[in-house]
Amino acid sequence: MSKYSDAELYANYQDILDLVKRKDLTMADEIYKIPVSEYADRGIWEREVKLVRRTPMMLGFSCDLPEPGSYWAMTRVGVPLLLTRLKTGEVRLFINACRHRGVKVANEGQGKQPRFTCLYHAWTYGLDGSLLALPENRIFGDVDKCDYGLIELAVEERAGIIWGVLTPGVALDLDDFLGEELDAMLRKEGFERFHSVELVELPAANWKITYEGNGESYHFASLHAKSFASFTYPNILHNTKLGKHSLNMTPVVGIEKCDPSSRADLERFVQRSYMLFPGTVCSFASDTAFGERDSKSEVVSRIFMNHVLPGDSPETSITISRTLVSAPFVGTPIEEETRIWARSSHETVRLEDYPVVQSAQDTVHSGGQDYFTFGRNEIALHHFHDALHEALKDEALDA
């Protein structure tokens, strides 16, 4: 379970139950419009890509680097990355490019090894990014190994989450980025206890069109009637602004029968979903999702995360979609239900959300409308676009 106090969980439950009884939600004062051109303009998109690369990004969790010598090579927003854990337990982040001629020193994926050797000319690097050796250095020429380590990027592991910045020389200030309130909330979630179930990469439409579906449940009744709407109440949502970010809380079907004296019930019947600027949504899903559990059973916390990133053009994006659980599950009685939940969550996004998202993308250049309109009930998306517009004013993006 989370580290939230019983009183905090009860207060969340009371807020959500009140909305359920009134069939209500947190609403904006008025509707909100965004020019469709903002989804198509290449100049705006290029600034957005720079912004994403300069903004702290949730790259992974502590479980992704389970022991010293662990590594994870990945590509995010066109930047090849190498994440490592040193013998000291410290996490480091580098651009995955040999300093000789730029070939990746590690193939994409996760594993464990003490060093990385470039396949092209066998330059070898340590977990700390230092250049350890190069063959035939006598005839290669005068090279100071200290000047040829892998290019390092800012990274910090905090409360079970690994954050990084994708632009060399840009500092990582998590205190400023998260703010005191959100930082405290994330610490209470206990991310360090989670185990990865599945990670899939899903190609989709423009990153903003794609991300917007994560910020409202207005579409659940029509699009997800047999999936997400089978265990959550559509269009009932409690939204809290947290600087650039926000927290959405939604009720799980059956909340009216919740036993408020039971911590397990308080965790089970209120879902928390953090919208982390600019494009990550990290949701704590009920353990009743896509199935039922004994109400007296211990709660196994579940994370369903979608990390939406700009693709190679304004018309494309990549979603890093992940599922995690708070207990070891392989070879246990909960393995089957865990894998069913994970598969169902990813498949719902791929088969239900993303065809619709692509349909919207197909109309962007049609001239069919000048604006996309967001209702008062889609308040989290108002906040997302306000925060994005404000961030895009940063003069550093002009460089």
Q: Which CATH superfamily is domain 6-55+180-398 in?
A: Naphthalene 1,2-dioxygenase Alpha Subunit; Chain A, domain 1 (3.90.380.10)
- Residue 398: its pLDDT value, please? 82
Among 364, 394, 395, 376, which Cα is nearest to 33's? 376
For residues 181-209, give the mean pLDDT.
97
User: By CB neighbour count within 10 A (0-12 exposed, 13-18 middle, 19+ buried), where does 7 fall?
Assistant: exposed
Residues 6+ apart with CB under 8 A from 337: 291, 293
- Residue 53: its pLDDT value, please? 98
Instruction: Write out pLDDT tens, residues 114-147.
Output: 999 999 999 999 999 999 999 988 889 888 899 9
Judged against a pLDDT cut of 90, whether residue 356 lies above it is answered with yes
More confident residue, 346 or 1: 346
Judged against a pLDDT cut of 80, whether residue 201 lies above it is answered with yes
Q: What is the pTM of this model?
A: 0.95
* CA distances from residue 79 to 52, 201, 371 in whole angstroms, order as listed: 11, 16, 32
Instruction: Write out pLDDT tens, residues 332-342.
Output: 999 999 999 99
* Residue 395 binned pLDDT confidence (cut-offs 50, 70, 90): confident
Domain coordinates in residue numbering, the chain? 6-55+180-398, 57-158
- Residue 186: its pLDDT value, please? 97
CATH number listed for the domain at residues 57-158: 2.102.10.10
For residues 276-293, give the mean pLDDT.
85
For residues 76-94, give the mean pLDDT.
98
* Residue 361 binned pLDDT confidence (cut-offs 50, 70, 90): very high
Judged against a pLDDT cut of 70, whether residue 223 lies above it is answered with yes
Among 199, 166, 155, 156, which Cα is nearest to 79's? 166
More confident residue, 296 or 359: 359
- Residue 396: its pLDDT value, please? 82
The C-alpha angle with vertex 77 and arms to 39 and 388, in degrees rounded to 5, equals 45
